[in-house]
Amino acid sequence: MSTKRIDNGHLVPYTKRMESSEPKGVLSVRINAALLDRIDQLCERTGVGRAEITERCLEIGLADEEEFVRSLESPVVGAAMHLLSYPKVLKALLTMIGEEPHPTQVQIRNNIAEKKRVRSAAHGKPATK
């Protein structure tokens, strides 16, 4: 991903696909009012529309989530992350710094762990949690 200078002089992440004249797919989602307000405030401050702001946020957020999933799927790093993200351990670690685990990341962790168990069982290996 590279950056592009927009009218107000700020550098922002963008991809060539964002400038493409190709037809784009439609994604319709319901979000909480506070998040929509933040999007609208950012649009107002930057002079950029909701669609472009949302697409940029999705690009960045999706890259972060993909990296998180790749880490969990990794044989070595994934095993360590799996242990550290065990719900009780994660809650204890985050409590120490005054944070709460994000429910979506807990769900992703559990889904990846379940897929690993299913793959292991299919290959005759003992299933572990």
**pLDDT tens-place string over residues 70-102:** 888 888 888 887 777 777 888 888 888 988 878
**49 with 3, same domain?**
yes
**94 with 52, same domain?**
no
Burial 96-112 (b: 16+ CB within 10 A, else e): eeeeeeeeeeeebbeeb
Model confidence, pTM: 0.55
**90 with 120, same domain?**
yes
**128 with 116, same domain?**
yes
pLDDT of residue 23 exceeding 70, the answer is yes
**36 with 67, same domain?**
yes
Cα–Cα distance between 24 and 30 in angstroms, integer? 19
Full residue range of the structural domain in which residue 15 is found: 1-19+27-73
Total domains, the chain: 2
**50 with 111, same domain?**
no
Contact 91, 105 (CB under 8 A): no
Contact 78, 71 (CB under 8 A): yes
- pLDDT band per the 50, 70, 90 thresholds, residue 58: very high
Lowest-pLDDT range, 5-9, 11-15, 26-30, 113-117?
A: 5-9
**121 with 99, same domain?**
yes
- For residue 14, the SS3 value is strand
Backbone angles phi, psi at 2, to 5 degrees: -115, -170
Quote the pLDDT of residue 1: 43
